[in-house]
Amino acid sequence: MIFGTGILKGLFVTLKNFVTSYFRKPDNGGIFTVQYPEERDKAIEAFRNFPFLAYDGTPDKVRCVACGICERECPPKCIHIVMEIDPLGKPARRPSVFEIDHGLCMNCGMCEDVCPFDSIYMDHAFEVTAADRGKELVRPKEALLKSNDYFLKIRPGTATLVDQKRRAAEEKKKLSRAATLPPQGPVS
Amino acid sequence: MEILELFSKIGIYATMALVLVFALGVVALRNLFHCALCLAAVLIGTAMIYVALHAEFLAAVQILVYVGAVMTLVIFVIMLTEHLGGKTIRQTNRQSPAAIIGLSGIVVLLGTLLMKTPWPVTAKALDAKVSVMSLGKALMGTYAFPFEVISVILIACLIGAIVIAKKDVSEKGPS
Amino acid sequence: MSMPPFLRDIEFAVDLSLVNAKGWCLDLLGHFLPDWTVVLASIVISGVAILALGPLVMMYLTLLERKVIGRIQNRYGPNRVGKWGLLQPIADGIKMFTKEDIVPAQADKIVHFLAPVVIVVPALMVFLVVPFGERMTAVNLNIGLLYFIAVSSITTIPIFMGSWASRNKYSLLGGMRTAAQMISYEIPMTLSVVPVIMMSQSLSTNTIVMTQVGDLDLHWFIFTPWGLVGFLIYFLCAVAECNRPPFDLPEAESELVAGFHTEYSGMKFALFYMAEYMNAFTLCGIATTLFLGGWQGPFFPSWLWFFGKTFALICVMIWFRGTLPRFRVDQLMGFAWKFLLPLTLINIPVAALWFFVPERLAWLYSIAIFAVSFWGLVKLNCAFVPEKRIYPLAD
Amino acid sequence: MIIPLQHILIFSLLLFATGLYGVLVRRNIIGILISIELMLNAANLNLIAFSKSTSLAPETGQIFAIFVIAIAATAAAVGLAIVLALYRVRKTVYTDEVNLLKW
Amino acid sequence: MTNTKDLEGSQMLEINFGPQHPSTHGVFRMKVFLEGEKICALDPVMGYLHRNHELIAENLPYAATMAYTDRLDYFNSMANNFGYALAVEKLAGFEVPERAAYIRVIMAELARIVNHLMLIGFLLNDLGAFFTPVLYAFREREKIMDLFEEVSGSRMMCNYFRFGGVKRDLTAENLTFIKRIVSKLPAFLEEFEALLTKNEILCMRCQNVGVLPADLAVNAGITGPVLRASGVNYDIRKVDEYGLYDRFHFKIPLGQKGDVYDRYYVRILEIRESLKILEQALSQIPQGEVLNKKTLPFLKMPRNFKPATGEAYGRIESPKGELGYYLVSDGTPQPWRYHVRAPSLINLTVLEEMCLGQKVADAIIILGSIDIVLGETDR
């Protein structure tokens, strides 16, 4: 073994990489850079970033009933919920305040796991910025609300399952209601 | 072309003045590191004057040996012996006034002598061009013996310096 | 091989186009103004050309380096500013200019300011003797090579200034390392040049290029055994002299943060950076001049040849940077003193004998001598030889 | 010669005197050493100036200057080595603090 | 151990490497006393990244801590999850379905590969190579990271393991993707080794530097590749045979001298062994559930999970060494005591012994070869 062969071998490796970087495919040892604003990595369904609140149809039909389970179970305690009180003074089973502090949230997905009302899910949007970490990072309900269509778009697999489950539950509810109440018209 | 000659004259005198200013810096500044830098400036300035006197080879040697090697050594030792950011303490002893008086006397005396003496300037010497080749021939011919002696001295001092600066037997001296 | 005469004429015209352009300017000036202004103008034109060339070369060297290293590492390198990132150096320059200039509170303010200014001066001054092309040496000094070595040795002083004035321990360590490294590597570098001086019997860079003359039958010194060994030694020392990997100890990022320029920011940092790259360029340029036949070469204009060869050498430096880890201080010194220096000392007599021995025989004996001495030096320096190890696999 | 010999001699005299002043008044050994370099430099300048103006072989002055530079380098090397050794033992580089005449 | 307090004010050069320094692998500080370039004393200072991990966990339900364990050793959150899941399963006596157990092994070994590749890359960075090994390692890591993201939703903070299984099943595409990774890695390793292993500069720098004798390593409680590089055959995968490691055939590479080079090369060999495990696991993996049905309600309602009073210590061979989780339950939803035995922290204790008498540059690579992650060291 002559002194210097190891270095020469290493130099050859880098030379080879220099040359092959011009024509090799990314998954084959070529340049694997994703040129971000123009190109984007392929969307991965399981990807989780900050949570969002799903609603059906219009923003006022929030699925969330402000039960506060996610607020309690959130490990870094970044969720703040206040239940809406309707004019009669009774709880409206709807959040009047639903805030998530993005400065605290660690994207663990615990809220999604524990939510019994299929309301809170992990989002794909990662391009979130704020100029002020005290106020702007605390995202209000308006910023968190996203439609079920959006959910279907970003996470088709999960969203379809959830929709099926919800529809089945609805059917069941209807059926049970139909069983307890006398029919009031033709059922479609 | 007289103007160009005038320019070079001005240049030489300016260099001399600067060199003297830096030389004063060498002896008068309190921060030793600054002194060393001033010395480097003096050496480079002197090299420029050598160039003006058509001794380019010597100028290059001066820069190579003095600025490149000796100054580096000096600064190295300064770095080793001075504390980083340490306060500068008094750098001169009490002989300073006496030295100034005595030295100014010597300067005045020698200066007048220099100006009074008629220095013979031969035309042949003014025209003579010293090429690198003739220098080399002289070094290897006429001055071969001193040259060899110098090299022996250099070797001796190299070894001596290493031995002196060496800490103990187990460790290497500075190279 | 000979070219048709008209081609030769065209080549000649292109070759000297830059020189002729300067000549016409001076002629034009000579019609209106006194003689001395023409001399002055000549100096000014050459000076401006060099002053423009230095930073320009540096700017695009940074781009080249980033691109090449990017490709080595399977990245794109800068490609956002301008086509292929060609305007990136300008963007970097603007950034450097507008950055805050931070001076440490305890720093020696004057020296801290002077160091980056002073370091550029020798880096620019050595451009004077680099023969960029036929008749394109700014000053044809008869001691050109010595001048180059002397002036480039000044570089240690401003590095010292920067490292001392920063009042930073990383800087101080970096400065110490610089001193040791630069002095150590200057010696084999200077000695590796000696055979070339012996062969061309001149210190003038122009004459050295002219002794390697030849159109397609190459008389470059690198095609002789002593030239090849000399070139390799010179090149390794050049890499060490401009503090580039694997000899980048003075600014070892993982150890000393940034070495002597840890405390520099903004334009002052840019000046250090500039000096470093200009040094790399001139060292490679001189390597081209000494061993690769300078601007000699067929078909293309001489300056194109010069720049082509120089940039090829710089690419090798960049290649080293993309591949090799760094030496340790003691290994670095050992490499210079125990390996390169003896090899240069062997190289000189081999080159001297080259004069007196017929070529075939000379090839034979020089290859034999170099092989034996290389082998012997490696054997003597057992620290350089990797240990062989066996790794047992247990259950 | 572009400028008269006398001027160079005066200049080198001033340089020499400055160096001598430094040698006389500096407390720091390194300071003394660099002042000695100044003096040697002045001497070199004289050698060159004289070799330009007298009818000796024109190389003589330069060769002697080269010898002087070589000797100066050795002086600096040995001197600084002594300074280092002294500093290691005495923790000082000031001449008036090293007055025991023993190591 | 030299008391560095005594050296303050001496002639030696005192340098603080860190907390902000390019090669301390985070906010870690080494107080170093130098004589020239030689290290006379070294004092590791840690705690800059202390986040109260253990106390937070003691105030949270068991399930919620899983997300926090990701943040311990952020290079291989899969392994951290594994250890914590093991501890809780031991405490509560949950069974893990077979497929989930296989998935766990696959993920843990992939994490080991990622960790070792990155470590070698960063070690070479410490040695002064200009990012080339790191980026080659990144190239391979990227594929594994993509896989992690696909299965767990996040590249680094996976939060993938659950008590009694894993969060999500691997699809057939995932499995073929892993197979492709496994089939391509040996070629990459060849290239990587051609670049590094025989490189003379690397050998000069690493061989006989930072030698850790076997007896010192054992006495100091060093574990993982650092211990095995010193020639001690101790691997928890073999000792405990947790998970399914008893089903796979693999060897434990051992070093001889215990220097930086051995630590580097043992890791390369470990990657090869991990590939063997992965190949076996991929060929054997059965179909079936990935989560124990009994634990699902506890995951939906973490506060309902109240393990009986008792204690459990779950440990795994994390890429850095023995990663252990100690849990004491008092019957409430929160653990009464929770402790992490972090290999990074314990391996760091021999740093000074390895560095004394070496050069500054060696201290950096010795630190790099120990492989610390400050998230785990400081917790």
CATH number, domain with residue A119: 3.30.70.3270
**pLDDT tens sequence across A130-187:** 888 778 888 888 888 888 888 888 888 888 888 888 888 888 888 887 777 665 555 4
Residue of A nearest to C339 (CA): A3
Which chain E residues have a beta carbon less than 8 Å from that of A73? 61, 64, 302-303
Q: In this complex, which chains have at least 3 CB pairs below 8 Å with chain A?
A: C, E
Q: What percent of chain A lies above the pLDDT cut of 90?
A: 0
Residue of A nearest to E170 (CA): A46
Contact A32 E139 (CB under 8 A): yes
Residue E290 main-chain phi, psi, to 5 deg: -115, 0
Least confident of C291-300, C364-373, E58-67: C291-300
Residue of A nearest to E300 (CA): A114
Query: What mean pLDDT do residues B76-93 have?
Result: 67
Residue E3: per-residue pLDDT: 58
Query: What mean pLDDT do residues B44-69 have?
Result: 85
Q: Is residue B26 part of a domain?
A: yes
Tokens of B141: 């011919």
Query: What mean pLDDT do residues E252-280 have?
Result: 89
Distance CA(C66)–CA(D54), nearest Å, equals 59
Largest CA distance in chain D: 53
Looking at the structure of chain D, the number of domains it has is 1
How far from chain centre, in Å, is Cα C34? Answer: 39
Q: Is residue B42 part of a domain?
A: yes
Residue B175: per-residue pLDDT: 39
Q: CATH classification of E53-377 is 1.10.645.10, yes or no?
A: yes
Residue of B nearest to D37 (CA): B39
Length of chain C in residues, anyone? 395
Q: Is a pLDDT exceeding 80 seen at residue C215? A: no
Query: In this complex, is the C-beta atom of B173 within 8 Å of any C-beta atom belonging to chain C?
Result: no
Nearest to B71 among C146, C157, C176 (CB): C157
Query: What mean pLDDT do residues D73-86 have?
Result: 84
Band (pLDDT 50/70/90 cuts) for residue C12 is: low
Residue A94 main-chain phi, psi, to 5 deg: -155, 140
Contact C378 A35 (CB under 8 A): no
Q: Please, are residues B35 and B88 in contact by the beta-carbon 8 Å criterion?
A: no
Map tokens 């070892």 to a residue. C252
Band (pLDDT 50/70/90 cuts) for residue C7 is: low
Q: In this complex, which chains have at least 3 CB pairs below 8 Å with chain E?
A: A, C
Q: Residue window 20-79, chain D: list those with CB within 8 Å of chain B.
A: 20-22, 24-28, 30-31, 33-35, 37-38, 41, 44-45, 48-49, 51-63, 65-67, 69-78
Query: In this complex, is the C-beta atom of C71 within 8 Å of any C-beta atom belonging to chain E?
Result: no
Q: Please, are residues C351 and C199 in contact by the beta-carbon 8 Å criterion?
A: yes
pTM: 0.86
Q: Is a pLDDT exceeding 60 seen at residue C197? A: yes
Residue A34 main-chain phi, psi, to 5 deg: -105, 115
Residue E198: per-residue pLDDT: 82
**pLDDT tens sequence across E33-87:** 887 778 888 888 888 888 888 888 888 888 888 888 888 888 888 889 898 988 9
Query: B93 to chain C nearest CA, in Å?
Result: 25
Nearest to E201 among C249, C254, C324 (CB): C324
Nearest to C323 among E132, E205, E233 (CB): E132
Q: Is the bond leading into C246 cis (omega within 30 degrees of zero)?
A: yes
Contact B126 D52 (CB under 8 A): yes
Query: D101 to chain B nearest CA, in Å?
Result: 18
Q: Which amino acid, B166? A: K
| CB-based burial label for E12 (10 Å; 0-12, 13-18, 19+) | middle
Q: Going by DSSP bridges, is the β-strand pair A120-122/A51-55 parallel, antiparallel, or unpaired? A: antiparallel
Task: Give Cβ neighbours of residue C200 (< 8 Å, ≥ 6 apart).
Answer: C207, C208, C210, C211, C212
Residue C85, Ramachandran bin (φ over 0: left; ψ between -120 and 50: alpha; else beta) = left
- H or E segment at A145? strand A145-147
The structural domains of chain C, with segments of one domain joined by +, span: 100-381
Map tokens 């030769």 to a residue. C8
Q: Please, are residues D18 and B26 in contact by the beta-carbon 8 Å criterion?
A: yes
Residue B171: per-residue pLDDT: 44
Provide the number of CB pairs (under 8 Å) joining chain B to chain D. Answer: 230
Map tokens 């200013």 to a residue. B21
Q: Which amino acid, D43? A: A
Nearest by Cα to E102 from E165, E172, E185, E152: E165
Contact A33 C75 (CB under 8 A): yes
CB atoms within 10 A of CB B89: 9
Looking at the structure of chain A, the number of domains it has is 1
Domain that holds residue B38: 2-84+122-172
Residue B91: per-residue pLDDT: 67
Q: Is residue B152 part of a domain?
A: yes
Nearest to C395 among E22, E252, E359 (CB): E252
Nearest by Cα to E172 from E261, E259, E66, E99: E99
Distance CA(E254)–CA(E258), nearest Å, equals 9
D95 or A173: whose pLDDT is higher? A173
Q: What percent of chain E lies above the pLDDT cut of 70?
A: 97
The neighbouring-strand residues paired with C68 are none
Q: Is residue B117 part of a domain?
A: no
**pLDDT tens sequence across C108-146:** 888 888 888 888 888 888 888 888 877 777 777 778 888
Query: B36 to chain D nearest CA, in Å?
Result: 7
Q: Residue window 56-75, chain B: list those with CB within 8 Å of chain C.
A: 56-57, 59-61, 63-64, 67-69, 71-72, 75
Contact B9 D15 (CB under 8 A): no
Length of chain B in residues, anyone? 175
Residue of B nearest to D26 (CA): B92
Q: Is a pLDDT exceeding 80 seen at residue B12? A: yes
Q: Is residue A186 part of a domain?
A: no
Residue A183: per-residue pLDDT: 56
Query: What mean pLDDT do residues C75-102 have?
Result: 85
Band (pLDDT 50/70/90 cuts) for residue D1 is: low
Task: Give Cβ neighbours of residue B6 (< 8 Å, ≥ 6 apart).
Answer: none
Distance CA(E361)–CA(D88), nearest Å, equals 25
Q: In this complex, which chains have at least 3 CB pairs below 8 Å with chain B?
A: C, D
Instruction: Cite the residue boundaries of each domain of chain E with CATH code 1.10.645.10.
Output: 53-377
Q: Is residue D13 part of a domain?
A: yes
Q: Is residue D103 part of a domain?
A: no
Q: Which amino acid, E63? A: A
Query: What mean pLDDT do residues D42-53 have?
Result: 84
Which chain A residues have a beta carbon less than 8 Å from that of E303? 72-73
Query: In this complex, is the C-beta atom of B44 within 8 Å of any C-beta atom belonging to chain D?
Result: no
Band (pLDDT 50/70/90 cuts) for residue B172 is: very low
Q: What is the CATH number of the domain that holds B70?
A: 1.20.120.1200
Band (pLDDT 50/70/90 cuts) for residue C55 is: confident
Domain that holds residue D58: 5-94
Distance CA(A72)–CA(C110), nearest Å, equals 61
Query: In this complex, is the C-beta atom of B76 within 8 Å of any C-beta atom belonging to chain C?
Result: yes
